[in-house]
Structure 1
């Protein structure tokens, strides 16, 4: 986890064994992981599924962050989603998932970031502009487009999670 005196991940220099063009994606995912782990430390499980102003719960955001990384990185590999991935998507934020703890959801996100970083480090930069179809409709994207969107989407939901958690903690 990031120490308070360290700069943001992108200012710590290049990551070893990471292709240069994918450094920004890796930096964003690592930054998100650091912030998410700090934010969710000691977050009470009983607030995990509370909604704020009718918006998504912290539990949903944690599940969604994990699921989106998994799905986008699958598309980047050129594979369609498995039945398990589709089931995970359908279950994100549903009441049946209330048995998860904050620690379990944070751990799942951390593991997904690790898998994403491993995939990024193994990516051949010459394949970054290769076409990839997204979803059942095969919407057009590229490998770099999917990786970039994964970083952008992760940071967007992290921002929403931060607001949700802060509001919930202030209510107590």
Structure 2
């Protein structure tokens, strides 16, 4: 993960190794990654599965962000999802005693690295190329999938932020 500075990622200039047209995707992913790490610093493992007011648990958001990045990069490469990916999707947010905050963050970082590697290898001339999503083969594009991954990560970071703050307020450390 990149060292955090005072400026948001998009104000630090271009990130080497990524096409200019895809810098907004990279900036959004890296910004969310930094903010997630700040938010989750010292988050207690025993609160990962809590659902305050019935909202999704913290573990779900961290797993779901990783899952979406993984699935969108697979679709962008015009590949089908694997059984491992379907199994991951089925278990997002499902209680698992062996999961810790650190494990979730490490898994997320690995997935972000993999996603960004895919982005770095994208030919910008393919951004408007048709790609299909899911078993229903719904239409999208390479660029649409990459943008959706970044947007979806930002959306779930926002939900994660609220859930973590509620849990820390209700059950202070």
TM-score, normalization by structure 2: 0.96
Q: Could you tell me which residue of structure 2 aligns to residue 54 of structure 1?
A: 54
How many residues align? The count is 170
Structure 1 residue 121 and structure 2 residue 120: aligned?
A: yes
Identify unmatched segments of 5+ residues in structure 2: none
**Deviation (angstroms), 1:2:** 4.9
Question: CA offset at residue 171 of structure 1?
Answer: 0.8
Q: Does 1:102 align with 2:101?
A: yes
What is the TM-score with the length of structure 1 in the denominator? 0.96
Q: Partners in 2 of 1:99 and 1:86 — Cα distance?
A: 20
Rounded to whole Å, the distance in 2 between the matches of 1:107 and 1:133 is 29
1:143 aligns with 2:135: no
Contact 1:134–1:141 (Cα < 8 Å) also in 2: yes
Structure 1's consecutive aligned runs of 4 or more residues displaced over 3 angstroms after TM superposition are: none
Distance 2:38 2:145 in 1: 27
Residue 25 of structure 1 corresponds to 25
Q: How many angstroms apart in 2 are the aligned matches of 1:87 and 1:140?
A: 23
**Residue equivalent to 1:154:** 153
Partner of 1:9: 9
Long gaps (5+) in structure 1: none
**CA deviation after TM superposition for structure 1 residue 132, in Å:** 0.3
Paired with 1:156 and 1:98, the residues of 2 have a C-alpha distance of 26
CA distance in 2, matches of 1:16, 1:135: 32
Give, in angstroms, the shift of residue 35 of structure 1: 0.2
Rounded Cα–Cα distance in structure 1 between residues aligned with 2:52 and 2:23: 35
Q: 1:162 to 1:2 in 2, by over 3 A?
A: farther
